[in-house]
A = this chain, B = another copy of it.
Amino acid sequence: MLIQRLSIIGVGLIGASLASSLRKAGECNEVIGCGRGVENLRQAIDLGIIDRYYHDPAEAVKDADMVIIAVPLGSIANIFKAINKSLSPQAVITDVGSAKISVIADAKQHLTQHLADFVPGHPIAGSEKSGVTAANPNLFEDKRVILTTLPETKSQATELVKSMWEIAGAKVVNMSAAHHDQVLAATSHLPHLLAYSLVNTLAKMDSKTEIFQFAAGGFRDFTRIASSDPRMWHDICLSNQEAILQMLDCFNSDLNKLINAIKQKDSEQIETIFSHAKSIRDELF
């Protein structure tokens, strides 16, 4: 068995799905949950995802050999502070945050006694749904997990986290935190911000009810991600501010090129922009 006592700090979609998956594979003996909401934690017990829970992270991590921090990015520093002194010397700690430079900075400041046991991680999986009731043991099947290990990270810690994600069906890769933050700003953070912004733009129109009524399937797909958890995305914007602002700047400049081409009725330029995008999209999917 890979893990004796697993401690999940933040029993939401990601944490609960991973725990279910490890449990289903028989690779995890005991699961301790930690969170604020009693109802959510009781549901997690009822669903067989956790065995018991604490509200205090320091209590929840005691004697755990694996600690998974699956709280919004803005709360990770406080969790590090809370657990730093009560982690067992054998504990391996990982997180699932969507921005890695900020999490590593938090760890360097607050996880002082266990930095070499901390494996920064990010599963590229999720859903616009959240909470323990959306948990799914197959959520990570064939998905990628990015680890952004530090020079000081112990290789046994990295190996354990890698094995854990592989049991959940994921493919694990390693890259630098800076590169991770750029790639995610491009492929995930930027599209989410555009989707949120688009829905707000339409919602301000006079005939908004009618407008959404005429929205076709493409629009529904396009804006699905605007149903994602606002607090989580707020935290991502602050934690990955630099890379996100860079991407928004690039996007703005491309969009303005298209706007100018439409203003000038520049047929050639408009068609080039669309054909280029289509050929890239068709090639990659």
Interface of A with B (CB < 8 Å)?
124-126, 128, 143-144, 146, 179, 182-184, 186-188, 190-205, 207-208, 210-216, 218-231, 233-234, 237-238, 241, 244-245, 247-248, 250-252, 254-255, 258-259, 262-263, 265, 267, 270-271, 273-278, 280-282, 284-285
Contact of A262 among B222, B241, B262 (CB under 8 A): B241
Q: How far is the CB of A275 from chain B (nearest CB, A)?
A: 4
Is the pair A278, B230 in contact by a Cβ cutoff of 8 Å?
yes
Contacting residues, chain B, for A285 (C-beta < 8 A): 220, 227
Q: How far is the CB of A233 from chain B (nearest CB, A)?
A: 5
State A255–B195 Cα separation when bound (angstroms): 10
State A187–B203 Cα separation when bound (angstroms): 11
Contacting residues, chain B, for A186 (C-beta < 8 A): 201-202, 205, 211
Is the pair A234, B191 in contact by a Cβ cutoff of 8 Å?
no
Contacting residues, chain B, for A193 (C-beta < 8 A): 255, 258
Contact of A233 among B188, B259, B274, B284 (CB under 8 A): B274
Known: A146-B214, A230-B278, A274-B234. A255 touches B194 (CB 8 A): yes
* A-B interface, 10 closest residue pairs, ranked by CB to CB distance from nearest: A230-B274, A199-B277, A221-B221, A196-B277, A187-B215, A230-B275, A212-B284, A218-B225, A234-B271, A203-B280
State A12–B197 Cα separation when bound (angstroms): 33
Is the pair B187, A254 in contact by a Cβ cutoff of 8 Å?
no
State A210–B276 Cα separation when bound (angstroms): 18
